[in-house]
Amino acid sequence: MSALPGPRLASMRGARVIIALSGGVDSAVAALLLKEAGATVQGLFMSNWEETDDVYCSAAQDFQDARAVAAELGIPLHRMSFAAQYRAQVFEHFLAEHRAGRTPNPDVLCNREIKFGVGLEWARRLGAECFATGHYARLAAGPSGTGLYKARDTAKDQSYFLHAVHAQHWARVCLPLGEWHKEAVRQRARTAGLPVFDKPDSTGICFIGERPFFEFLSRFVDRRPGPIETDRGVRLGEHAGLAFYTLGQRAGLRIGGRAGFAQQPWYVAAKDAARNALIVVQGHEHPLLRSRALHTGRWHWLVPPRAADFRADLKVRYRQREQPARLEPQDDGTMRVSFEQPQRAVTAGQYAVAYEADLCLGGAVIETVYPATAAAAAA
């Protein structure tokens, strides 16, 4: 069955659809739209994090909210635990990256391995012709298959988090909210009497949530204290371990003002793993916080792979406007990226994702970052 973007929901009449119901307003309205389009809809609540003593995890309440939505819509609701797969395929990688001093984005792996991995396969085994979610992104048929496009609501667009999903899976997926704006989604939920119409947006992954992240990570990653130094080697204090910091970070450094230095905030500029040293600089726009180039791991294509250099717009984090860049595919499948303008706090472990207009071309993990000064000299 072909994937169907929002405007063609009417074509879903009679289709057997399983939708991932998270207990939030987005998936609730997506289920409502599918039902109104005449699809035979069933819900799936995925339990991906199961620590019964975790006071910061809202999974129990989320399930009750999903049950209330399913009851209001008159659809069956299944509950499946993918906690073992989540821990093995997402969380262990998350910990390994932090131990290596990098900054991972577990949302990307969660979508590829869990929601559109074991979740999609589970739905298929139950006879679903289509698997749906409440993500803000669009799918549309093209000459090379189904393409992933940015949502109409650019402020809520989630295609960045979906770029690593295997391209062939999109033919079995429906994203009903791709044409919708968030304000309209909440209004639709309110007028339909859905019980979650005013529920705050989720932070995404349960194990992160609204929790003290330093304390949480300390349960799994050993603290390895070391020096906090300026870029000129002046010691300012002690860090808890490189795993607990990310480039561009300001909060939590606990170094305050220092005699002989300007009264400006300090920011993490680099990690010297060989000496276990955290390098900091003053000023939000300090040159050492900026990079002109990066090198990725193996590139994941959502369009036919390109062999020659090309230009595209690139995101290196979710909350960032796309930036013009030159992309150079390498013989080993990796990608060299050069920005037109230096970018701030580009971080190894995050993802570089490329676009042409609204079409997502694919992306990869950022492996190496080149400071603007060094990259300019090498150009």
The answer, yes or no, to whether residue 190 has pLDDT greater than 90, is yes
The reported pLDDT for the residue numbered 206 is 56
222-284 in CATH: which number?
2.30.30.280
Span 96-105, average pLDDT: 95
Q: What is 175-220 written as a DSSP string?
A: -TTTT--HHHHHHHHHHHT-TTTTPPPP-S-TTTTTS-HHHHHHTT
| Comma-separated ranges of CATH 2.30.30.280 domains in the chain | 222-284
| CATH class of segment(s) 6-192 | alpha beta
pLDDT digits (tens, 9 = 90+) for 210-244: 667 888 899 999 999 999 999 999 999 999 999 99
Residue 363 φ/ψ, nearest 5 degrees: -175, -175
Helices vs. strands in the chain: H and E counts, helices first: 10, 18
The correct answer on CATH 1.20.140.10 for the domain covering 288-378 is: no
The answer, yes or no, to whether residue 375 has pLDDT greater than 60, is no
The answer, yes or no, to whether residue 4 has pLDDT greater than 50, is no
pLDDT digits (tens, 9 = 90+) for 336-347: 999 999 999 999
The CA distance from 5 to 179, in Å, is 8
Greatest CA separation found in the chain? Answer: 73
pLDDT digits (tens, 9 = 90+) for 118-140: 999 999 999 999 999 999 999 99
Burial code (b: 16+ CB inside 10 Å, e: under 16) for 267-280 equals: bbbbbeeeeebbbb
Nearest CA among 143, 212, 141 for reference residue 171: 141
Query: Is 263 or 68 the better-scoring residue by pLDDT?
Result: 68
pLDDT digits (tens, 9 = 90+) for 33-60: 999 999 999 999 998 887 655 656 677 8
Amino acid at site 140: A
The answer, yes or no, to whether residue 379 has pLDDT greater than 50, is no
The reported pLDDT for the residue numbered 8 is 60
The answer, yes or no, to whether residue 20 has pLDDT greater than 90, is yes
Span 262-287, average pLDDT: 94
The reported pLDDT for the residue numbered 302 is 97
pLDDT digits (tens, 9 = 90+) for 156-175: 999 999 999 999 999 999 99
pTM (two decimals): 0.91
The reported pLDDT for the residue numbered 319 is 86
Could you list the active site residues?
110, 206
The CA distance from 9 to 103, in Å, is 38
The CA distance from 269 to 122, in Å, is 44
Give the confidence band of 61 by pLDDT, cuts at 50, 70, 90: confident
The answer, yes or no, to whether residue 377 has pLDDT greater than 50, is no
| Comma-separated ranges of CATH 3.40.50.620 domains in the chain | 6-192
The answer, yes or no, to whether residue 200 has pLDDT greater than 50, is yes
- Give me the chain's average pLDDT, please: 91
| Comma-separated ranges of CATH 2.40.30.10 domains in the chain | 288-378
The reported pLDDT for the residue numbered 236 is 96
Range scoring the smallest mean pLDDT among 111-115, 174-178, 223-227, 252-256: 252-256
